[in-house]
Amino acid sequence: MRENKVQIERKDFSSGISAAYFFLAPALISIFIFFFIPVIAAFIISFTDFDIYSLGNYNNLRFVGLKNYSDLLNNELFWISLKNTFYFVIVASPLSISVSLGAALILNSKVVKLKGIFRLAYFIPVVTTLVAVAIVWRFIYHPRFGILNYLLSFAGINPIDWLGDPFWAMPSIILMSIWKNFGYNMIIFIAGLQNIPEHLYEAAVLEGASGWQQFKKITLPMLAPTTVFISIITMIGNFQLFAEPYVMTQGGPLNKTLSVVQYMYQEGFRWWNMGYSASIAFVLFIIIFIGTMLQLRIQKQTA
């Protein structure tokens, strides 16, 4: 804060520019050094054989062209992690968005009183620490002592080893993640619903439109921009799946919950195969980029 006196004494118009740079400098320099440079560096590293030997001595570093990427495409574990991540994204995202929309519709209707309390109950998991709630759920899913199996026993369902069964592990993580996250999109949907002009519904009622017709012809189209935004941020977030499997299953059983980010973490920070790991990060980035572009294009076509 010492420098400002020197930099901004003049009041004429040209001082505005140097003042602007003064205000921008701290944030932009840190973003440039600690975000943009690492992105570029990661791109370069992904074409090298950066490993534990290069970590000790950078002279051991060699460019290997596309080798990391071709290794990646020939690695079974990578394809497994990619498949698991797509499973999570494709199932969890639409389910979570539907639950968010349903909750928003109910909490936005005029019939419901005490909206604030219910909204709070649905929302609280969003702000809590993912690692902590993943641990709680690990015990909820416990095959012998867990609450879930206990509750299901009343419906005559035999105990299931939720996180230990290759079939059930991913659905269990999906259920927990929907519980944890849907409140966030619910809030955005409520804001979107409140922006729809009331007279549209009044006109529809006059013309005898049913509730379902109103939902299909007014609510959904009017919410379209909100829905696209929500699907993009939900998809991006879900592609970055990491803490849930790390805490609940460590990627198991039989690698059925190993995610791309977890695979990247293991290769990069467990085995120090940093060149290889950087290529995993870039493939993830490309997938997220394509996914976002696709959703934006779909929105443009339907609009």
Partner 1 sequence: MIKKILLYIFLIVTGLMMLAPFIWMLSASLMYDGHASTYPPRFIPDEFTLYQFESLFSRLNVARNLFNSLSLSIIVTLVSLFFNSMAGYAFAKYRFAGKDKLFSLLLSSMIIPAQVTMLPLFLMLKEMGFINTYMAIIIPGLANIFGIFLIRQYALSIPDSLIESARMDGATDFQIYRTIILPLCLPILITLAIFTFMGTWNDFLWPLIALTDSSMYTLPVALANLMGEHTKDPELMMAGSVITIVPILIVFLVLQKYYIKGIMLGGVKE
C-beta of residue 173 within 8 angstroms of C-beta of residue 134: no
Question: How far apart are CB 120 and partner 1 at their closest, in Å?
Answer: 8
- What is each CA distance from 33 to 27, 282, 285, in whole angstroms? 10, 19, 20
Question: How far apart are CB 131 and partner 1 at their closest, in Å?
Answer: 4
Question: How far apart are CB 70 and partner 1 at their closest, in Å?
Answer: 19
Question: How far apart are CB 75 and partner 1 at their closest, in Å?
Answer: 18
- 53 vs 203, which CB is nearer to partner 1? 53
- 94 vs 225, which CB is nearer to partner 1? 225
Name beta bridge partners: 63: 48
Question: How far apart are CB 35 and partner 1 at their closest, in Å?
Answer: 6
- 118 vs 215, which CB is nearer to partner 1? 118
C-beta of residue 69 within 8 angstroms of C-beta of residue 46: yes
What three-state secondary structure class fits 283? helix
- 125 vs 251, which CB is nearer to partner 1? 125
Closest to 189 in 3D by CA, of 96, 110, 114? 96
The tokens for 12 are: 């004429």
Residue 51 and residue 276: Cα distance in Å, rounded?
A: 8
- 192 vs 251, which CB is nearer to partner 1? 192
Axis crossing angle, helix 37-45 with helix 274-302, rounded to the nearest 10: 120
